[in-house]
Amino acid sequence: MSIFRHLPDNIIEIDGEKFDLDLFLELEPEYSIPKGFISREYDGERHILYSKDNQTLGECPWEDGERYLTRIPDLHLLQKTIIDDLNYIESLKNNDDTQQMSKNDINKNMLVKEMVFSMWEHFVEGKSKEETINKVQEKLKVKENI
């Protein structure tokens, strides 16, 4: 026999499987527990609503409750979809970070090569600092200020 429970800590339990109320409301946005009650239980033959100090019989058969009893596969699919979406978003974020790092590494590498080349021109070929090293240093200063 299937059983639906809305527990006082806002957990929905269907046949022993527990789901957060917010997840359940994604599938069943019209669901609510009547005012003054903190819990409910429905199994197709009984529908009991619990308050802090009392219990009351609810409608039976309960049309919505019958549907809720069949929602386990839908809740699992929704959980999987949410996890897959979060993983996909995280992978895009990581991909962007990787691409950004690659661009930064390329820029740094190019500046290092340019600096080595300008030092070669200055020290080995005897060109002036103004023509070689100082130009690269100016580029570095501009890059740092961006």
For residue 61, say if its preceding peptide bond is cis, omega within 30 degrees of 0: yes
> Could you state, in chain order, the average pLDDT of each consecutive group of 10 residues for the chain (146 residues)?
94 95 94 94 95 94 95 94 88 69 65 74 80 78 54
DSSP 79-139: HHHHHHHHHHHHHHHHHHHHHHHHHHHHHHHHHHHHHHHHHHHHHTS---TTTTHHHHHHH
48 phi, psi to nearest 5 deg: -120, 130
pLDDT at 91: 83
Q: Is 2 helix (H, G, I), strand (E, B) or coil?
A: coil
User: Domain extents for the chain?
Assistant: 4-70, 105-145
Q: Which residues share a beta bridge with 18?
A: 13
Find the radius of gyration of the CA atoms of the chain: 33
User: What single DSSP character describes residue 33?
Assistant: P
pLDDT at 13: 97
pTM, rounded to two decimals: 0.61
Say what angle helices 133-145 and 72-123 make with each other, to 10 degrees: 150
